[in-house]
């Protein structure tokens, strides 16, 4: 997925009200940018961080900039837009770039299922059960090289695991797909200390037959695309 506009650098002053960030542009101007991330953004919102903004010229939008990337130590990048993972995974599914989920001719998004939920992607083929795929954005890292999810308590995420487990018990494929939107991690695990209920629901879902896929994203100031799978270690080996 290519960014629509060329990203420009800035420095973060503060992020507040979840969806707003005050920043300093390279010419010294202070502006407010949209922050498309309702999560805690733990470790990604330090004052003074170098960040990357996407300008927009849409008169219908209230803010002229959207915060897309933050620079990490060692020149690494993290993506902060939680709307991007579904677009990235969706493009990859349409192009057959995820081997574990290839050979499904029909890919639909936002299909109703479960207990008043919508599945991110429903994959269908004539010769096999449908595959229900839920996508989660991963940006938390508290240990070098280790990505974790979630970065805050997520009752909604726990509900999604219960719904996926129900689909698996009915004989469908059910897949939890974690997309790591940072370039400095080669392993994935659960942040059980942050949300023990989510971790318990994950383990129950695995026992019910829910599959786990975890891929890293390739991030640059021009695009964010699906890269390669990374190691999953959550203490569940089936």
Which three-class secondary structure state does DSSP give residue 155? helix
Tokens of 16: 């507040």
- Please enumerate in sequence order all residues whose Cβ is within 8 A of that of 184, keeping only pairs 6 or more positions apart, or say none: 72, 73, 74, 76, 141, 144, 145
Q: Closest Cα partner for 26 from 56, 63, 55, 61?
A: 55
pLDDT tens digit string along 134-160? 999 999 999 999 999 999 999 999 999
What number is the average pLDDT over the span 2-18? 95
pLDDT tens digit string along 161-198? 999 999 999 999 999 999 999 999 999 999 999 999 99
DSSP of 51-101: EEEEE---TTSS-SEEEEEEE-GGG-EEE--TTHHHHHHHHHHHTT--GGG
What number is the average pLDDT over the span 121-134? 96
Q: Domains in the chain, please, with CATH?
A: 8-79 (2.40.50.580), 84-232 (3.40.1350.60)
pLDDT tens digit string along 193-223? 999 999 999 999 999 999 999 999 999 999 9
- Please enumerate in sequence order all residues whose Cβ is within 8 A of that of 48, keeping only pairs 6 or more positions apart, or say none: 11, 12
Strands 173-180 and 224-229: unpaired
| Contact assessment for residue 49 and residue 12, using Cβ atoms and an 8 Å cutoff | yes
Put simply, whether the predicted model's pTM sits higher than 0.75 gets the answer yes
Helix (H) or strand (E) holding 222: none
CA distance 173 to 128: 9
pLDDT tens digit string along 62-100? 899 999 999 999 999 999 999 999 999 999 999 999 999
Strands 173-180 and 211-219: parallel
Question: Is 90 exceeded by the pLDDT of residue 124?
Answer: yes
Question: Is 90 exceeded by the pLDDT of residue 234?
Answer: no
Query: Is residue 188 classed exposed, middle or buried when 0-12, 13-18 and 19+ CB atoms within 10 A define those classes?
Result: buried
């Amino acid at each position: 997925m290519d960014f629509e506009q060329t990203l420009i650098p800035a420095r973060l002053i503060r992020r507040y009200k979840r969806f707003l960030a005050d920043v300093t542009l390279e010419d010294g101007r202070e502006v407010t940018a949209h922050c498309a991330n309702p999560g805690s953004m733990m470790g990604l919102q330090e004052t003074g961080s170098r960040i990357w903004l996407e300008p927009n010229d849409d008169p219908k939008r209230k803010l002229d900039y959207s915060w897309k990337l933050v620079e990490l130590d060692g020149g690494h990048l993290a993506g902060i837009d939680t709307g991007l993972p579904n677009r990235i995974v969706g493009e990859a599914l349409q192009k057959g770039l995820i081997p574990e989920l290839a050979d499904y001719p029909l890919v639909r998004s936002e299909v109703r299922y479960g207990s008043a939920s919508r599945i991110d992607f429903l994959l269908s083929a004539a010769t096999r059960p449908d595959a229900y795929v839920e996508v989660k954005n991963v940006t938390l890292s508290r240990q070098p090289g280790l990505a974790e999810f979630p970065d805050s308590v997520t009752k909604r995420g726990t509900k999604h695991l219960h719904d996926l487990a129900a689909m698996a018990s009915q004989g469908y494929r059910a897949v939890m797909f974690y997309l790591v939107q940072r370039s400095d991690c080669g392993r994935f695990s659960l942040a059980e200390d942050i949300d023990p209920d989510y971790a318990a629901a994950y383990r129950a879902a695995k026992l019910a037959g829910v599959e786990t896929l975890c891929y890293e994203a390739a991030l640059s100031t021009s695009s964010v695309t699906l890269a390669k799978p990374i190691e999953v270690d959550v203490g569940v080996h089936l």
